[in-house]
Amino acid sequence: MTIATIDAPAAAELTRQDRCDRCGAQAFVKATLADGLDLLFCGHHFRAHEVKLVAAGATILDERHRIDEQAPERV
């Protein structure tokens, strides 16, 4: 089985407006299923569902490394 994980690009793909489909927290992971459906997860809910998503062949965009980033200041 091949696990497809996409390293996050230099500019983040997920924004502060993207929300976890389970709880509404900021999403840091996007799982794209084979049928094209995108699911968004916070770090907690991704960990809870990671094994099943990978087993289903989902492509994972993981930006959890950004969790501790501070938002840029507004001018």
- Burial group, residue 9, by CB count within 10 angstroms (0-12, 13-18, 19+): exposed
**Residue 52 lies inside a defined structural domain of this protein:** yes
CATH code of residue 57: 2.10.110
Range 33-56 average pLDDT: 97
β partners of residue 61: 6, 30
Any domain includes 34: yes
- On average, the pLDDT of the chain sits at 87
Is 71 part of a structural domain of the chain? no
1 pLDDT above the threshold of 60: no
Q: State pLDDT tens for residues 4-35.
A: 555 544 567 999 999 999 999 999 999 999 99
Residue 53 confidence (pLDDT) above 50: yes
The domain total for the chain is 1
Residue 33, domain member (yes or no): yes
Residue 23 lies in a domain: yes
Q: Identify whether 74 is part of a domain.
A: no
Judge whether 42 lies within some domain. yes
Residue-number span of the structural domain to which 30 is assigned: 4-66
